[in-house]
Amino acid sequence: MNRDLPATDETYMGLALAQARAAMAQGEVPVGAVVVCDGQVVAVGHNCPVSGHDPSAHAEMQALRAAAQALGNYRLPECELYVTLEPCVMCAGAIMHARIKRVVFGASDPKTGACGSVVDLFAEPRLNHHADVVGGVMRDECVGILQTFFSERRAAAKARRLAESSPAAEVAGDPSVPPSETSN
Protein backbone atom coordinates (compact mmCIF):
# COMPACT_ATOMS: atom_id res chain seq x y z
CA MET A 1 0.00 0.00 0.00
CA ASN A 2 1.43 3.35 -1.05
CA ARG A 3 1.30 5.57 2.07
CA ASP A 4 1.63 8.78 0.01
CA LEU A 5 -1.83 8.34 -1.53
CA PRO A 6 -5.10 9.43 0.05
CA ALA A 7 -6.93 6.41 1.46
CA THR A 8 -9.87 7.23 -0.78
CA ASP A 9 -7.85 6.62 -3.95
CA GLU A 10 -7.15 3.06 -2.89
CA THR A 11 -10.70 2.57 -1.63
CA TYR A 12 -12.22 3.65 -4.93
CA MET A 13 -9.63 1.75 -6.96
CA GLY A 14 -10.61 -1.33 -4.96
CA LEU A 15 -14.18 -0.81 -6.16
CA ALA A 16 -12.92 -0.45 -9.73
CA LEU A 17 -11.04 -3.74 -9.32
CA ALA A 18 -14.29 -5.40 -8.23
CA GLN A 19 -15.81 -4.20 -11.50
CA ALA A 20 -12.79 -5.58 -13.39
CA ARG A 21 -13.39 -8.96 -11.76
CA ALA A 22 -17.03 -8.81 -12.92
CA ALA A 23 -15.82 -8.19 -16.48
CA MET A 24 -13.40 -11.11 -16.21
CA ALA A 25 -16.18 -13.41 -14.99
CA GLN A 26 -18.07 -12.54 -18.19
CA GLY A 27 -15.07 -13.29 -20.40
CA GLU A 28 -14.32 -9.62 -21.04
CA VAL A 29 -10.93 -7.94 -20.65
CA PRO A 30 -10.91 -7.12 -16.92
CA VAL A 31 -11.15 -3.35 -16.72
CA GLY A 32 -13.37 -1.61 -14.20
CA ALA A 33 -14.28 2.00 -13.51
CA VAL A 34 -15.95 4.04 -10.78
CA VAL A 35 -17.22 7.64 -10.90
CA VAL A 36 -17.14 9.50 -7.59
CA CYS A 37 -18.75 12.87 -6.91
CA ASP A 38 -18.35 14.69 -3.59
CA GLY A 39 -17.07 11.52 -1.94
CA GLN A 40 -20.00 9.39 -3.12
CA VAL A 41 -19.91 6.63 -5.73
CA VAL A 42 -22.43 7.67 -8.37
CA ALA A 43 -21.71 5.06 -11.05
CA VAL A 44 -19.66 2.01 -11.89
CA GLY A 45 -18.85 0.22 -15.11
CA HIS A 46 -16.82 -2.59 -16.55
CA ASN A 47 -15.68 -3.64 -20.00
CA CYS A 48 -18.39 -5.30 -22.07
CA PRO A 49 -17.62 -4.69 -25.77
CA VAL A 50 -17.70 -8.41 -26.63
CA SER A 51 -20.98 -9.28 -24.93
CA GLY A 52 -22.54 -5.95 -25.88
CA HIS A 53 -21.34 -6.08 -29.49
CA ASP A 54 -20.23 -2.48 -28.94
CA PRO A 55 -16.66 -1.29 -29.52
CA SER A 56 -17.31 1.75 -27.32
CA ALA A 57 -18.41 -0.29 -24.29
CA HIS A 58 -15.20 0.28 -22.34
CA ALA A 59 -15.41 0.46 -18.55
CA GLU A 60 -14.93 4.24 -18.54
CA MET A 61 -17.67 4.79 -21.13
CA GLN A 62 -20.09 2.60 -19.18
CA ALA A 63 -19.36 4.45 -15.94
CA LEU A 64 -19.56 7.91 -17.57
CA ARG A 65 -22.91 7.08 -19.19
CA ALA A 66 -24.31 5.78 -15.90
CA ALA A 67 -23.02 8.82 -13.99
CA ALA A 68 -24.57 11.23 -16.51
CA GLN A 69 -27.90 9.44 -16.14
CA ALA A 70 -27.67 9.36 -12.34
CA LEU A 71 -26.79 13.06 -12.09
CA GLY A 72 -29.00 14.26 -14.93
CA ASN A 73 -26.20 15.96 -16.84
CA TYR A 74 -23.50 14.75 -19.21
CA ARG A 75 -21.11 17.30 -17.74
CA LEU A 76 -19.52 15.95 -14.59
CA PRO A 77 -17.13 18.74 -13.46
CA GLU A 78 -17.13 17.78 -9.79
CA CYS A 79 -16.52 14.09 -10.46
CA GLU A 80 -13.47 11.88 -10.39
CA LEU A 81 -12.99 8.73 -12.45
CA TYR A 82 -11.13 5.70 -11.09
CA VAL A 83 -10.18 3.07 -13.66
CA THR A 84 -7.96 0.01 -13.46
CA LEU A 85 -6.30 0.59 -16.86
CA GLU A 86 -5.07 3.85 -18.37
CA PRO A 87 -7.80 5.27 -20.62
CA CYS A 88 -7.50 5.00 -24.39
CA VAL A 89 -7.98 7.93 -26.77
CA MET A 90 -11.73 7.30 -27.12
CA CYS A 91 -12.25 7.22 -23.36
CA ALA A 92 -9.98 10.21 -22.79
CA GLY A 93 -12.08 12.16 -25.28
CA ALA A 94 -15.28 11.25 -23.44
CA ILE A 95 -13.64 12.17 -20.12
CA MET A 96 -12.79 15.59 -21.55
CA HIS A 97 -16.30 16.13 -22.89
CA ALA A 98 -17.74 15.17 -19.51
CA ARG A 99 -15.35 17.66 -17.85
CA ILE A 100 -14.19 15.11 -15.28
CA LYS A 101 -11.87 16.96 -12.89
CA ARG A 102 -9.57 14.06 -11.96
CA VAL A 103 -8.64 10.70 -13.47
CA VAL A 104 -6.97 8.02 -11.36
CA PHE A 105 -5.76 4.86 -13.08
CA GLY A 106 -3.96 1.73 -11.96
CA ALA A 107 -2.05 0.06 -14.80
CA SER A 108 -0.40 1.93 -17.64
CA ASP A 109 -1.34 0.85 -21.17
CA PRO A 110 1.75 0.82 -23.41
CA LYS A 111 -0.35 0.07 -26.52
CA THR A 112 -3.24 2.54 -26.34
CA GLY A 113 -2.75 4.68 -23.23
CA ALA A 114 -3.81 8.30 -23.68
CA CYS A 115 -2.64 9.62 -20.29
CA GLY A 116 1.07 9.52 -21.04
CA SER A 117 2.00 6.00 -22.13
CA VAL A 118 1.44 6.52 -25.86
CA VAL A 119 0.01 10.05 -25.98
CA ASP A 120 -1.03 12.45 -23.24
CA LEU A 121 -4.26 14.12 -24.29
CA PHE A 122 -4.71 15.74 -20.89
CA ALA A 123 -1.43 17.63 -21.32
CA GLU A 124 -2.29 18.85 -24.82
CA PRO A 125 -2.54 22.66 -24.50
CA ARG A 126 -4.72 23.04 -27.61
CA LEU A 127 -7.56 21.06 -26.02
CA ASN A 128 -10.16 22.89 -23.97
CA HIS A 129 -10.31 20.70 -20.87
CA HIS A 130 -7.56 19.22 -18.74
CA ALA A 131 -8.20 16.76 -15.96
CA ASP A 132 -5.68 16.09 -13.23
CA VAL A 133 -4.27 12.61 -13.84
CA VAL A 134 -2.76 10.24 -11.30
CA GLY A 135 -1.40 6.89 -12.47
CA GLY A 136 -0.10 3.79 -10.73
CA VAL A 137 -2.67 3.55 -7.93
CA MET A 138 -2.78 -0.11 -6.88
CA ARG A 139 -0.72 -0.79 -9.98
CA ASP A 140 0.34 -4.32 -9.02
CA GLU A 141 -3.24 -5.46 -8.42
CA CYS A 142 -4.45 -3.85 -11.65
CA VAL A 143 -1.62 -5.35 -13.70
CA GLY A 144 -2.09 -8.71 -11.97
CA ILE A 145 -5.71 -9.18 -12.99
CA LEU A 146 -4.87 -8.33 -16.61
CA GLN A 147 -1.90 -10.73 -16.62
CA THR A 148 -4.04 -13.50 -15.14
CA PHE A 149 -6.78 -12.96 -17.73
CA PHE A 150 -4.45 -13.00 -20.72
CA SER A 151 -2.39 -15.91 -19.36
CA GLU A 152 -5.55 -18.00 -18.92
CA ARG A 153 -6.76 -16.96 -22.35
CA ARG A 154 -3.47 -17.98 -24.00
CA ALA A 155 -3.46 -21.32 -22.14
CA ALA A 156 -7.04 -22.06 -23.25
CA ALA A 157 -6.19 -21.19 -26.87
CA LYS A 158 -3.12 -23.43 -26.73
CA ALA A 159 -5.17 -26.30 -25.30
CA ARG A 160 -7.73 -25.89 -28.11
CA ARG A 161 -5.00 -25.91 -30.76
CA LEU A 162 -3.44 -29.04 -29.25
CA ALA A 163 -6.81 -30.79 -29.05
CA GLU A 164 -7.58 -29.90 -32.65
CA SER A 165 -4.23 -31.19 -33.90
CA SER A 166 -4.16 -34.45 -31.91
CA PRO A 167 -4.66 -37.80 -33.73
CA ALA A 168 -7.79 -38.45 -31.65
CA ALA A 169 -9.29 -35.19 -32.90
CA GLU A 170 -8.50 -36.17 -36.49
CA VAL A 171 -10.12 -39.59 -36.05
CA ALA A 172 -13.08 -38.07 -34.19
CA GLY A 173 -13.71 -35.80 -37.15
CA ASP A 174 -13.50 -38.67 -39.69
CA PRO A 175 -17.01 -39.88 -40.61
CA SER A 176 -15.60 -43.25 -41.77
CA VAL A 177 -14.52 -44.15 -38.21
CA PRO A 178 -17.39 -45.36 -36.00
CA PRO A 179 -17.83 -43.39 -32.73
CA SER A 180 -17.08 -46.49 -30.63
CA GLU A 181 -13.52 -46.58 -32.01
CA THR A 182 -12.81 -42.98 -30.94
CA SER A 183 -14.09 -43.16 -27.37
CA ASN A 184 -12.33 -44.77 -24.42
Residue 115 in marked binding region: no
Q: Is 60 a catalytic residue?
A: yes
Q: What are φ and ψ of residue 6, in 5° steps?
A: -60, 145
Residue 91 in marked binding region: yes
Long-range contacts of 161-170 (CB under 8 A, 24+ apart): none
Q: Sheet of 32-37: strands edge to edge? A: 40-46, 32-37, 79-85, 102-107, 132-134
Q: What are φ and ψ of residue 149, in 5° steps?
A: -60, -50
Residue 58 in marked binding region: yes
Which of the residues 10, 28, 60, 124 is marked catalytic? 60
Summarize the annotated binding site as residue ranges. 58, 88, 91
Catalytic residues: 60
Q: Residues at the annotated binding site for Zn(2+)?
A: 58, 88, 91
